[in-house]
Amino acid sequence: MTVHPDMHGEVAGRLAALEQRYTTTRRAVVETLSRAGRPVTIPEILSSTPLLPQSSAYRTLAVLIEAGVARRVTGDGDHGRFELAEELSGHHHHLVCEVCGTVDDVPPSTRLERALDEAARAAAEDQGYTVTGHRFDLVGRCPTCR
């Protein structure tokens, strides 16, 4: 799910805007997030990036989030889950397995997006909210836990 044509360049730019360097460690984490194609936990990041200390993983993610490169998504389990920002990975939704907690990405349908936007507008008007985005997760059982 590599939607952005020059991901690393874009990341470097966003980091530079905050006077942050695009180091080897950071590149490795971005690479991991990109390859995963779904929100991953810290333990998962650590196992796919040998020699990376846990504290560096957390710190790197904090920076990436600050730079708008990554974001933390709601985890049902113990660990938080992280993924690339939608500007880099493309807008999508999640399939959450209620048994094992795994989260997969799912592309949005045009019709669904239209309905979601409409709902957002209606809700905003009703309760005085200014809606800036939405989260839509499908909950169920993954093929493994079926």
Partner DNA sequence: CTTTCTGCAAACGATTTGCAGCAGC
Partner DNA sequence: GCTGCTGCAAATCGTTTGCAGAAAG
Q: Which of 5, 19, 50, 127 binds DNA (CB under 7 A)?
A: 19
For residue 25, the minimal CB distance to DNA (Å) is 3
Q: From its own copies, DNA, none, which one binds at residue 95 (CB under 5 to 8 Å depending on kind)?
A: its own copies
Q: From its own copies, DNA, none, which one binds at residue 50 (CB under 5 to 8 Å depending on kind)?
A: none
Based on CB atoms, which residue is closest to its own copies, 5 or 135?
Answer: 135
Stretch that binds DNA, among 2-10, 21-29, 113-121, 132-140 (CB under 7 A): 21-29
Stretch that binds its own copies, among 1-9, 12-20, 25-33, 133-141 (CB under 8 A): 133-141
71, β-bridge pairs = 83
Q: Alpha-carbon distance 140 to 142, whole Å? A: 7
Q: Alpha-carbon distance 20 to 64, whole Å? A: 10
**Helix (H, G, I), strand (E, B), or coil: what is residue 81?**
strand
Interaction of residue 11 with DNA, rule CB under 7 A: no
**Contact between residue 90 and residue 38 where contact means Cβ atoms under 8 Å apart:** no
- DSSP code string of 10-76: HHHHHHHTTT----HHHHHHHHHHHHH-S-EEHHHHHHTSTT--HHHHHHHHHHHHHTTSEEEE--S
For residue 145, the minimal CB distance to DNA (Å) is 20
Binding region for DNA (CB under 7 A): 15, 19-26, 41-42, 51-56, 58-60, 62-63, 75, 78-80
